[in-house]
Every structure is written in structure tokens, then in C-alpha cells.
Amino acid sequence: MLAAIGVVFGDIGTSPLYALKECFDAEHGIAFSPEALYGVISMMIWALILVVTFKYVLFVMRADNKGEGGVLSLMALALRSVKSGTKEYFVLMILGMLGACMLIGESVITPAISVLSAVEGIEIATPALKQFIIPIAVVILFCLFVIQKYGTAMVGNLFGPVTLIWFLAIAALGIWNITNAPEIALAFNPMYAIRFITDHPLTAYIVMGAVVLVVTGVEALYLDMGHFGRNPVRFAWLLIVLPSLLLNYLGQGALVLSNPEAIRNPFYMMVPEWALWPMVGLATAATVIASQAVISGTFSLVSQAISLGFLPRMNILHTSDSERGQIYIPIVNWALLVMVIVTIIEFGESVNLAAAYGLSVTSTMLITTILLSIVMRREWRINPVLIALLIVFFFAVDLAFWTATLIKIKDGGWYPLLIALVCFTCLITWYKGRKLLRDKLISNSIPMEAFVGSLLAHPPHRVEGTAIFLTAHIDYVPVAMLHNLKHNRVMHERIFFLKLSTWDVPYVNDSERITMRDLGGQVFLVRAVYGFKETPDINSILTLLEKQENLSFDLMDTSFFISKDTIIPSASPGMALWQESLFSWMMQNAAKPSDFFKIPTNRLVELGAKVEI
């Protein structure tokens, strides 16, 4: 539970730094009045209760894929009951892709807005230091991204205690300020929110785009559920995080009620002068932890997308010997760093970033509701009337927030949309390109069993050693095998055709990982399956074959053959020419198979040809 507090709730726990301020911002929010304040605080309270507690904690977190959560896990669950290749399958897959892309867009803005809003406390403490806010934020984030390669293990033990101190501190600040205007507690009555919405529908609609900031990071509850289990996350939310957030928002409301001038930065102005600098330091630490959690989540999300065939292979480094979920992807890390720094310099202040924030969050929430409805109907098989009532309620709330954030597109909402669009273009291009390439290769391929039978009937010269041919399809002969026979005119004493598959589960037990079929003449067909949160490892496959099939392998006597195809864009039916060119570029820049599959480079042979798509 303590670990969950440190990793899962960093993002949503730092929202008090900027949420209320954004609601009454002169450019993006509404004009201040006591009536509006009660309405906004009430909306914030019930957003936390209805969206996070009722929807996610009670329902969405039940939709786990063998303990794992996240939009891609939910997509995998929804696709189980849908026939592959159908229109419904494609639509659900597209929704899952879009949700993942929106989360990536959020992962760019979260570190920027969190750290920037924390460092802005310097201006309250010492106004003369205002000009140093952006440089300090950039330096902090640069250091954070630089240490990613060492993994979260070295600082992981600090995450829980520091974040726990943060929640206790913001709760204490809330209680201390509530005593100055205890009547703010009336905002717990949902009628204040309802009355504000009915009396000022346009104003309420505008402010909903800022109120949604209190639930940013809600997807982290679901995405990181697999690291800690469902119950620790639920208990941490209900017993510590939710009460602390409610007290702090009420405290900010009490402060602004008694001193309307405090609306320019209600969080830091509720802090006693003697505690201002310590609170700036604690807030910075909390936002760094929140950023760390988002970055780690992005690594996990990209790794899942690679395993599911939505992105090309990338070099993935495992930073922990004991925790298999702790990974580091260099290219993703540095791309995120560049985008985060550009984001801070471009937007300048947290209030400007807050306008950009929200759209990606609400889009993912909406997609989650759609996918959840499929899982509830086909996997849980509960009462259809209950499903309809719940989904209509969830959908109405999500749609209200989503449409409210749409009006902020011109104020910065375009930014996460642009990031998501670029990511989605890459994902859909890679998915469609791989399908075109696979269909093209299969159309020119030779059936496996007929080929092996013919080959063994009239074998070429056999040489000592073991040859392992990686194949994309167990029913057809890999191109590398054909090229080897064509050019070298020999076959090894022992041959393995190895197919690596990804199942729609996060992890696969070693007892289920390997299946092998003897095709005769020391020729074997092996299939190794992995979960979408695992990275294939040739060495572990050979070890399992030794244990389960009583085989022996000497790496110095084993050669690995891989088909390496060069893509030639053409005007033939398939994808647009620019998409084919993008797919070709992605293929050329994908991680080397020897790195991704952990094949010894001095034992690898690549054979291939040019393929027009």
C-alpha cells in the first residue's frame, strides 16, 4: 500500500498545485464569485467521488487481464470475444491504439506541468527569482531523464514515504485553512454543483474543462494495478489519497472564500510563510516522483505496443533483476525529454499548460468506458439492464468532460492531440504495413510440412551444428531457409524453426511457454509464447528446451538465421505511398533482432530480399 502511494498516485496527487487556479484563470477559466467557488469545489469533490472512486476503483479495476490493467490490457480483454479480421475487431483495436496514444500525449504534459507548477512556488516565496523558474524546471527534468537508465529501484524505496508525507502535508494544510471558513464544507452537498450547472450552464461547461484536472492521472490507478495488486491500490485511495485531496481542495476553497486575492495561486498561498520553502521542496519532490511514474508507465506502454505488433522493435533494457516490469527504452526516454523541454519553453507557465492538459485524459476515459462496456457484456455476463445503466452514466460523465475540454483546443488542447496523431499514425502504419508484408510473403511461400518432407527425401549435404531459423508463420518455410539452401546448398545436422508469438495476457508461465513438434530427420518446429509485458529471450528459450525436451545446445556450434527484408514502396494497392515510405523507414530503424531477442551477434546470419508492397 505504501509502495502504491509512491508510484500510482503521484500524478493525481499533485493536481492541487494547479487545478483550482486554472478554474478561475482569467484566460481559460471563469470570473470569481462565492457562488462560483462553492459550485466549482463541489464539482471537484464529486468528480473525485464519481469518476475515480465509483467508476475506476469499483468497476474499471475489476477488468484486469491476469492482474494487469491499462487501456491495452482492456483492449486485449475486449478482443477475446471478437472474431479476428472482422470490422468490430478492427474498430476495438483502433480504440485501444487511440487510448494508448492519448496516454503518451499525457506523459509529455504531466512532467512539464507538474514540475513547473511546483517550482512556481519560488515566485510566491521570492518574486525576484521568477525569471529562474523555467531554467530550474528544465534542469530538474533533465536530471530526472538522465538517471532513467539506472532504473527506479535505486530511488523506489523513497517514493512511498515521500509521497505519503506529501499527502499528509496537503491534508494538514487543508484542515488548517478550513478552520478560517468552515462553511466551505457545505460544498460536499452535490446540490451546489447541480445548482451551479443549471443556473449558469455555459459558465459551468467552460469550467468543467478545468475541473477535469483533479482526475488527471486516474488511468495510472488502472495501468499500475499489476505492480501492486487491486486491493492495495483501492485501500490507499480510500484511506489516504482521497481524504487528503478532499481536505486540500476544501482548504483552498476556504482560503479563497476569506481572501479572494489568493486565487492567483491558492495552493502556495495557503502555506504559512515559515513553511513556504520546505513546501516548495516537498512539492518539487512529489512532482518528480509523479513524473517518474508517468515515464515508467510510458516505457511499459511502448513495450506492450511492441509486443502486440503496433510498433517496431526497440532496444529494451531491464533495470532490475527481481522485478520484470522495470524496463528502460533509450529512444523513448530521449524523445520524451526533448518533447517535455520543448513543451515547457513553448507554454512558459503551468496555467498555459493546464489548458493543453485534460483533452488527452478525457479522451482516454471515454475510450476506457467504451471498451469496458464490451468486457462487461461479454466477459462478465452481468445483467444487461445494469450494464446499460452504468455505461450510460459513465458515458454521460465522460462525454461532458470530454466536450468541455474540446473548447480548449485553440488554447493548447491541440498539443496533446498533435502528439497523439503522430503516435497513432506510426502505430497504424506499422500494423497495416506488417500485415501487407506478411500477406505478400505468404503468397510466395512454400508450405512447411510438404517442403520438409521433400527436403528429407532428397537432402543436400548436411553439415555439423545446429541451425535455428526464426519464422513469422509456423505453416510456411522462412525466406532465410530458402536463401540458405539456394546459396550455400547445405543444411545443418539439426534444424529448428522457431516461431515467437505474443498472447493477449501480460505474462506466460514457463510451463506453457514452449511447444515443439518433430518433423523428422532432426528437423523441429518450436513455438515460444510470451505475454505482452514480456520481452522474448533466445537464451531462456534454449534453456527451457534443454529442460523440457532433453536437448542440448552449444552456442558456439549454433547459428541463428533471420529473414531481413528491404521494403520497396510501390504504387500497388495497399497503403498510400507516404505511408509505405514511413513503414520502410521504421523497418530500417527498428532495433537489430540480435539486440531485441538477445541473440549473440557473432552467431547471427541475416538473409533476405527486396519486397515491394
pLDDT in tens, 547-574: 988 889 888 899 999 888 788 887 777 7
- The reported pLDDT for the residue numbered 255 is 95
Look at strands 317-318 and 327-328 and give their pairing: antiparallel
Decide if 394 is inside a domain: yes
Residue 130 CA, distance from chain mean position: 34
Alpha helices (H) in 259-347, listed in sequence order: 266-269, 276-307, 330-347
- The reported pLDDT for the residue numbered 441 is 79
- Round to whole Å and give the CA distance between 218 and 111: 15
Examine the domain organization and report whether 406 and 533 are in the same domain.
Answer: no
Contact (Cβ atoms closer than 8 angstroms) between residue 45 and residue 188? yes
Please say whether the dihedral angle defined by the alpha carbons of residues 153, 157, 160 and 164, taken in this order, is positive or negative.
Answer: negative
Residue 554 grid coordinates: 552449444
Examine the domain organization and report whether 360 and 220 are in the same domain.
Answer: yes
**Which of these, 402, 398, 515, lies nearest to 52 by C-alpha position?**
398
Three-state secondary structure call for residue 66: coil
The average pLDDT across 428-441 equals: 88
Q: Is the pLDDT of residue 362 over 80?
A: yes
Is the pLDDT higher at 355 or at 198?
198
Examine the domain organization and report whether 175 and 44 are in the same domain.
Answer: yes
Neighbours of 276 (CB within 10 A): 17
- Round to whole Å and give the CA distance between 277 and 275: 6
Confidence of residue 472 (pLDDT cuts 50, 70, 90): confident
Examine the domain organization and report whether 392 and 476 are in the same domain.
Answer: no
Give the DSSP per-residue string, 337-386. Answer: HHHHHHHHHHH-SHHHHHHHTTHHHHHHHHHHHHHHHHHIIIII---HHH
The average pLDDT across 131-140 equals: 90
Non-local (6+) Cβ contacts of 87 within 8 A are none
Examine the domain organization and report whether 411 and 319 are in the same domain.
Answer: yes
Total-model pTM: 0.82
Decide if 423 is inside a domain: no
Mean pLDDT comparison of 290-294, 301-305, 541-545, 588-592, highest-scoring range: 541-545
- The reported pLDDT for the residue numbered 504 is 75
Decide if 439 is inside a domain: no
- The reported pLDDT for the residue numbered 426 is 93
- The reported pLDDT for the residue numbered 248 is 96
Decide if 279 is inside a domain: yes
Q: Is the pLDDT of residue 74 over 70?
A: yes
Compute CA distances 291 → 4, 14, 107, whole Å.
15, 10, 8
Confidence of residue 9 (pLDDT cuts 50, 70, 90): confident
The average pLDDT across 351-371 equals: 84
- The reported pLDDT for the residue numbered 202 is 86
The average pLDDT across 507-535 equals: 89
Decide if 427 is inside a domain: no
Alpha helices (H) in 48-86, listed in sequence order: 71-79
Examine the domain organization and report whether 406 and 484 are in the same domain.
Answer: no
pLDDT tens-digit profile of 276-314? 899 989 988 888 888 877 887 788 888 888 888 899 988
**What's the domain range around 364?**
2-417
Mean per-residue pLDDT over the chain, rounded: 87
Residue 126 grid coordinates: 521570492
Q: Is the pLDDT of residue 324 over 60?
A: no
Give the DSSP per-residue string, 197-232. Answer: HHHSHHHHHHHHHHHGGGGTTHHHHHHTHHHH-HHH
Decide if 64 is inside a domain: yes
- The reported pLDDT for the residue numbered 323 is 55
The average pLDDT across 245-265 equals: 93
Decide if 528 is inside a domain: yes
The average pLDDT across 77-86 equals: 83
- Round to whole Å and give the CA distance between 17 and 184: 19
Q: Is the pLDDT of residue 316 over 90?
A: no
Examine the domain organization and report whether 336 and 294 are in the same domain.
Answer: yes
Last residue of a domain, one of 382, 417, 452: 417
- Round to whole Å and give the CA distance between 535 and 504: 14
Examine the domain organization and report whether 296 and 369 are in the same domain.
Answer: yes
Q: Is the pLDDT of residue 407 over 90?
A: no
Neighbours of 383 (CB within 10 A): 10
What total number of domains does the chain contain? 2
- The reported pLDDT for the residue numbered 563 is 83
Exposed/middle/buried for residue 461 (C-beta within 10 Å: 0-12, 13-18, 19+)? exposed
Compute CA distances 447 → 33, 383, 450, 489, whole Å.
75, 47, 6, 20
Last residue of a domain, one of 377, 401, 417: 417
- The reported pLDDT for the residue numbered 322 is 52
Look up the CATH number of the domain holding residue 190: 1.20.1740.10
Compute CA distances 397 → 98, 136, 212, 368, whole Å.
20, 38, 11, 13
Examine the domain organization and report whether 175 and 323 are in the same domain.
Answer: yes
The average pLDDT across 349-364 equals: 80
Compute CA distances 442 → 136, 475, 476, whole Å.
55, 9, 7
**Which of these, 4, 43, 532, 535, lies nearest to 220 by C-alpha position?**
4
Is the pLDDT higher at 65 or at 386?
386
Q: What angle do CA 315, 319, 322 make, to 5 degrees?
A: 130
Confidence of residue 47 (pLDDT cuts 50, 70, 90): very high
Phi, psi of 472 (to 5 degrees): -90, -15
Q: What is the 3-state secondary structure (H, E, C) of 138-194?
A: HHHHHHHHHHHHHCCHHHHHHHHHHHHHHHHHHHHHHHHHHCCCHHHHHHHCHHHHH
- The reported pLDDT for the residue numbered 45 is 96
Examine the domain organization and report whether 313 and 462 are in the same domain.
Answer: no
- Round to whole Å and give the CA distance between 207 and 230: 32
Confidence of residue 48 (pLDDT cuts 50, 70, 90): very high
Residue 118 grid coordinates: 511546483
Examine the domain organization and report whether 401 and 463 are in the same domain.
Answer: no
Residue 548 grid coordinates: 523440457
Residue 187 grid coordinates: 460544498
Examine the domain organization and report whether 65 and 180 are in the same domain.
Answer: yes
Decide if 343 is inside a domain: yes
